Structure 1
């Protein structure tokens, strides 16, 4: 689709930095990216996308003012070339040793940024990946883990631990080899690995770095690693990396735009200056999400989203089993697909439904062309996540005039206000009680649905979101030009 106003040669340039989302995956963050892009046809957008294998197809049609996406596959084939030798290898390994030490020794944490940018230089000239696959790199980690003054040594890390951790770090650092943004504004739409090219672009070219966290990346890593398969020494090292990367990002970012006040607390705790943070809520077009119309006759709970452990469908299914014990005719309809590689979680949820005797009443509907169908399918729309930012599915359902039951995570309470029920995460009994309250009270459901739509219209419209980011892009681009002119003037003064 062609833009209504093609970008002119002097249009502001924005590089979106993504990980596992736009334009190779569906989901709320991808919807948000597409809204920004299509809402500003007079801007030039580029995309650097951190992906899985590099073979992921584009699932979004990109308008003509978006350049061809650059992909950075974390799990594709390793970079070619032999490991450097002699002095060139020594340079990489000495910087890598400082990097590892900063992750393990609190006294050396302050050198994390120095080491990271040093590794970035070596990644761009092709030395880093091959060097990290050498025995010498492995030996550095083994020796550090054997230092008795470091906490991790008490866990007695094994050689297998070192092999695993080194391999994971090599993959995690691959975005450092990507061409960093050299002009305009770099907009990281999540924390973590997507930010790495933006950090390098800021350091090398002074490109302003804008960070938008929908969910808190570091918190989600903590949640994921808590039940992950890795040993404690491996988790300790990798979580140290993600923590220090978050702190470096918060320190360096020109502006941080969390999607809710909850994220802001994490960012301030991570070292972000309060004056560098502006909360910008997600928005929807109320005309695109009109009132859903008549409710189903059969008492039905509906859910929409990406089938993923962070959405905690297991708690929702357990809650539904409790609901059905009191309302045997109740149904649960789940709309959405599992991301590539995540099919096992869908199978696990289906197995749980069968184990609880609910397989006849729980249906996995898959992706639908029109998400409105998912919201209209339920008397109550459910959200069971253990981590969220400001979830699109929630405000879309609210715009459709449906009552909701949601877990108290991220910006959910800010979104819902008094137009839905909010329950603790991972609490099937509380979720079931809330769902039963609404299923048994049609008048209350209707009143909540009306309040929900009005709340969206008053506070969470797409127009407001787009215009806010438009002004931010122009502001940051102007700052960059002003800073560049100041440097030029200073240089002329020295030469004069």
Structure 2
């Protein structure tokens, strides 16, 4: 796994940021937040464990000198180095994996998840987990478990192909466990999900306190994504069961959870977090770096900024713009932001939709802009059309620039905007168009809303407030970690080992890795979101 070394710098407090697909390998809101946090604390030593795609990604940010190491934990590409276990080690890992899979599929066995996960983490540290999950025995375990009488997934008649698919997805999702976890300081996961895995291992093995910051709700976004994923229900049941139980384990074991808005808190409490362990910390911007944007464009223009991604729901925005242009023929829609690798098809779909609606000449994809302030200044009104958000940077940056906004009612949007912008339901082109037309037709109201929005940022959402809050949290958790006893994980007896084993309905034996068909009902269980 690639490791980038910076200057070594002693510090009383050391923080390991745990990221996924963001800092320091890509741009975007969470990456901006990480860069602000690191840059605002030159007195604190940082490391980064970054879950990436292939591990070959270049750094997108200039990492400051007080970041000692950036370790890439790739989920795809070549698997982690290691050998499959043999003898008693293989039997122990097989038992742990059986408990793990059972917890994902049997609501009565969910308490097996944590102990089994940590047993698998020990195997991953020895280089044995990934080879095991790529072997026949792991497939046999899953097929035996989900064919037990009484399990709902059995009614969908899972196939061998389903078992291969689900096991492959789990193997990739669990790869971050092979990354050496931090042994001191604070582990700060800046999202839920697989980025947390090294932090949970650090807590279990070395007593390192885990801090979780959720910008969006990771579990909710997995539910949204898997609704349209090309997998049958048995596969979705396994993978979404993993993400749900991982979220619950994280919420229970984190020393502190700092959601970026109060909306996230509802998910975290529902997932088992102690309300006393949750503190809302809003994102902040530097008002001096985002001054008033100045004169509006001559033509009536809606602007948008962000990454071109389905979760941003640009299709609804384009449909809303079509309704706006029916009333204001001179209107334009300018979209600023890059397209992540793999997202080209979505951008092409959006461009095709604009052409289909007859607005290819008025809808422009501008790509990444050197100065994001130019994106906000480009519009009379700044739009946000997402179906999921945390506390969006683009929104508070636009507010700091004194622009009126129309945003979807997701995540912490209402908390950010207050009464200084218009908020509409997600996936509702008519409501979005009506709000945009309302503001385009009222220049005085746009101006007064923009002024109020900037004042709101200055009073409540400054970068200085955010950085100072997290510095205090790091110091608090460092003291907690220093007092924690260091009990090595291998000295603990896993809870599942104290229970009678769950009887298997079929022996665990190697199976031929061949695909098998099936026509079972593919409808997933009810998914929140």
Which TM-score bucket, shorter chain as reference? over 0.9
Over residues 337-395 of structure 1, what are the superposed CA-to-partner deviations in whole Å (9 max), with x where a residue is unaligned?
11112211111111111111111100000001100000000000000000000000000
* Structure 1 residue 382 corresponds to structure 2 residue 383: yes
Over residues 282-338 of structure 1, what are the superposed CA-to-partner deviations in whole Å (9 max), with x where a residue is unaligned?
000000000000000100000000111110101001100111111111000000011
What does residue 45 of structure 2 align with?
44
**Greater relative contact order, per chain length (Cα 8 Å cut-off, separation 6+):** 2
* Structure 1 residue 122 corresponds to structure 2 residue 123: yes
What does residue 520 of structure 2 align with?
none
SS at match of 1:68: strand
SS at match of 1:47: strand
The alpha-carbon deviation at position 81 of structure 1 amounts to 4.1
Q: Which moved more, 1:86-95 or 1:44-53?
A: 86-95
In the alignment, structure 1 segments of 5+ residues that lack a partner are 1-5, 488-496
What does residue 307 of structure 1 align with?
308
What does residue 405 of structure 2 align with?
404
| Contact 2:9-2:68 within 8 A present in 1 as well | no
* Structure 1 residue 319 corresponds to structure 2 residue 320: yes
| Contact 1:8-1:42 within 8 A present in 2 as well | no
SS at match of 1:203: helix
Question: Separation in 2 of the partners of 1:474 and 1:171?
Answer: 34
| Contact 1:148-1:154 within 8 A present in 2 as well | no
1:428-439 matched pairs, under 5 angstroms? 428-439=429-440
1:97-496 matched pairs, under 5 angstroms? 97-484=98-485
| Contact 2:207-2:487 within 8 A present in 1 as well | no
What does residue 494 of structure 1 align with?
none
How many residues are aligned here?
482
C-alpha change, 1:157 and 1:243, in structure 2 (3 Å) is: same
Question: Separation in 2 of the partners of 1:202 and 1:223?
Answer: 30
Question: Separation in 2 of the partners of 1:484 and 1:284?
Answer: 38
| Contact 2:214-2:258 within 8 A present in 1 as well | yes
Question: Separation in 2 of the partners of 1:117 and 1:88?
Answer: 15
The alpha-carbon deviation at position 86 of structure 1 amounts to 2.9
What does residue 522 of structure 2 align with?
none
In the alignment, structure 2 segments of 5+ residues that lack a partner are 1-6, 489-529
Question: Separation in 1 of the partners of 2:337 and 2:169?
Answer: 30
What does residue 54 of structure 2 align with?
53
Question: Separation in 2 of the partners of 1:36 and 1:198?
Answer: 19
User: Normalising by the residue count of structure 2, what TM-score does the alignment of the two structures yield?
Assistant: 0.90
User: Normalising by the residue count of structure 1, what TM-score does the alignment of the two structures yield?
Assistant: 0.95
The alpha-carbon deviation at position 84 of structure 1 amounts to 2.4
The alpha-carbon deviation at position 484 of structure 1 amounts to 4.8
C-alpha change, 1:81 and 1:283, in structure 2 (3 Å) is: closer
SS at match of 2:68: coil
The alpha-carbon deviation at position 403 of structure 1 amounts to 0.2
